[in-house]
Amino acid sequence: MMDKRQRDGRGRTQNTRGQGENRGARGYDRKDYRGGEGKETARGKGKDGGFRGNGPRRTVKPAEVPEASAEITDPSESCSIEGRNAVLEAFRAGKTIDKLYVQEGLNDGPIQSVLREAKKQDTIVRFVEKERLDQLSRTGTHQGVIAMAAAFEYAEVEDILKKAEEKGEDPFLFLLDGIEDPHNLGAIIRTANLAGAHGVIIPKNRAVGLTPTVVRTSAGALAFTPVARVTNLTQTMEELKKKGLWFVCADMQGEVMYKQNLTGPIGVVIGNEGEGVSRLVKENCDFTASIPMKGDIDSLNASVAAGVLAFEVVRQRMEKGGMSAL
């Protein structure tokens, strides 16, 4: 008999038996969805943010992540807009701007106008030295302002839930906690589409956005798989829990995924390539799942780990009849 679960005051789950139904705000019945133990474990830190194998483990010092680790370093990896008037008009036209770079010390009227528009859109603003802007500039005439525009429009979280509702399926989401490599993000979006996930959620800070490389790597999946960008992942998770979703954290210390119940409304959380899932996000997950491995190297790439876990969700859903055959 599978354990019934309820969340404690901190958002984690506790085992309960014989209790009544536990339904979310959208009516998803959670009473029979979860099995296995929701363990509090140390965070796994695979080199590529994935899972380590079962062979002898060596001590690995976590890589130091600089403050701007997920920022654009190659101008060709972005859709950049340069110059005060051009950036201002882009904001006023409703263009989605991932990040705004402003030269330190500039405080004149046009700069203030740009900053006001950035504040209206809740755009991330970085004040940097002129030399940094010169590195990012393609034209050499940035006038102290460069905007990095998204190569594809972002969706809202509600759009993702609506997509699941229209299909008559329990929501299946990916939450990416600080993925920095655009190739990884694009590959995960592609996997999400092929696995029948309804969407992907990424954070605004310390994470790559929808760059041209992400669009190319997704191989067209972005046209069908909505990607929402949020300010606070943990707050978003709490809101989704109220709507009936459960969250499984990919972690090498978790229980083997084959023993977990991954059916029902679920969000799969994948961590940063170097640091794994952050502490606060992990504490807000309901349980953890690991991928069994027998090789000699110590980790899976983050996008590969996401793919393996995604298709275990597919397998379980098909067995339970919650997803049509592919």
DSSP annotation of 198 reads: -
170, 239: one domain: yes
55, 99: one domain: no
pLDDT at site 102: 96
Q: What is the mean pLDDT of the chain?
A: 80
Q: Which residue has the higher pLDDT, 21 or 246?
A: 246
Cα–Cα distance between 145 and 240 in angstroms, integer?
37
Report if residue 73 sits inside a domain: no
In the chain, beta strands by DSSP E: 4-7, 13-16, 79-82, 97-103, 124-128, 145-149, 172-177, 199-203, 227-230, 246-256, 266-271, 287-290
Report if residue 325 sits inside a domain: no
Q: How many domains does the chain have?
A: 2
128, 211: one domain: no
Report the 10 Å Cβ neighbour count for 46: 25
Report if residue 66 sits inside a domain: no
Task: State pLDDT tens for residues 178-202.
Answer: 999 999 999 999 999 999 999 999 9
pLDDT at site 323: 60
| Least confident span in 28-37, 180-189, 207-216, 217-226 | 28-37
State which residues form the domain around 107. 79-149
139, 211: one domain: no
41, 90: one domain: no
Task: State pLDDT tens for residues 20-75.
Answer: 334 343 445 544 444 444 333 333 444 444 444 444 333 323 333 333 334 544 54
231, 113: one domain: no
pTM metric for this prediction: 0.73
51, 186: one domain: yes
* C-beta separation of 258 from 312 below 8 A: yes
Question: At 165, is the secondary structure helix, strand, or coil?
Answer: helix
124, 273: one domain: no
- Mean pLDDT of the 134-160 span: 92
CATH of the domain at 182: 3.40.1280.10
